[in-house]
Amino acid sequence: MLAQGRTLVARACVVSLACLAWPPAEAGANDALRAESRYLFQPVPDGEFTAADGSTHRLSEIWDERPVLINLFFRRCTGSCSPLMHSIKQATEAAGGLGSDYAIVSLSFDPGDTTGDMRAMVDSLDLPSQGAWYVGTAGRDTIEGIAGAIGFWYATVPGTDQFDHPSLLAAVRGGKVVRILAGNTFDKGRMRDLLLEMRGVWVPFAPLPRGGASLRCFRFDEATNSLKLDWGMLLLLAPGCGAFAATAVVFLRRTKAK
């Protein structure tokens, strides 16, 4: 009986560890998401950039005042750049707080882009004012520093005027990366999680963008802006609790037998 109880405990431990180690479906489907943890809490080098209105700023001026979202793009992009910027705009409008709680800095990594190109980008997407969203150009050192800190890369596509590059949005607080999102579009839920991380709120789960995760250990209560236990936590604890109960019964029976 004792051996049987130990076997049950061992099996329960294996099941529990497997549940804890099992990767989220979204992260397992995207190499960029799996790799993003390498850049968390890395410092972002400070640098100067020129905004669409011709004014110059330093990154530290912005992140010393409030958290900042940073992304890199180029004006002539025929792929993901404009859709990404439009998605960021929609998600931040839904989440709120842009300009007061945080700012956005979008910089071109294409040395051929000009301040005029940045004004055209702002006008075409109808982006918010410079105090909330800075769209601009920067020197090679500044761009390379940001790219290295957030895991961004770019390479020319032979025979075209295009660049191959990922779509990344980095949340920076106090000059350090606190979270990175990868993908061409961001919905309200993903942006909300990102903004919570920027404000120093730990978010221990990442729900799937399609909202199909029905057995999460935690759920987010928008009314109280806090995390609450969900049904998935009961399933996670059930094997261990069952094994403990079975072991207790075995020992109680042995004690009575003696």
Tell me, what CATH number does 114's domain have?
3.40.30.10
Q: Whole domain around residue 145: which residue ranges?
A: 40-203
- Which residues touch 191 (CB under 8 Å, ≥6 apart)? 88, 91, 92, 94, 95
- Indicate whether 107 and 16 sit together in one domain: no
Compute the residue count for the chain.
258
Mean pLDDT, rounded, of the chain: 80
- Indicate whether 96 and 123 sit together in one domain: yes
**What does DSSP assign to residue 130?**
T
Is the Cβ–Cβ distance between 135 and 121 less than 8 Å?
A: yes
Of the candidates 120, 110, 103, 141, the residue with the CA atom closest to the CA atom of residue 52: 120
Confidence category of residue 95, pLDDT binned at 50, 70, 90: confident
Is the Cβ–Cβ distance between 239 and 16 less than 8 Å?
A: yes
- Indicate whether 66 and 147 sit together in one domain: yes
pLDDT tens digits, 36-86:
578 888 999 999 999 999 999 999 999 999 999 999 999 999 999 999 999
- Indicate whether 173 and 60 sit together in one domain: yes
Helix, strand, or coil (residue 22):
coil
* Full-model pTM: 0.69
Q: In which residue are the tokens 């992009």 written?
A: 77
In a domain, 50, yes or no: yes
- Pick from 61-65, 102-106, 254-258: least confident: 254-258
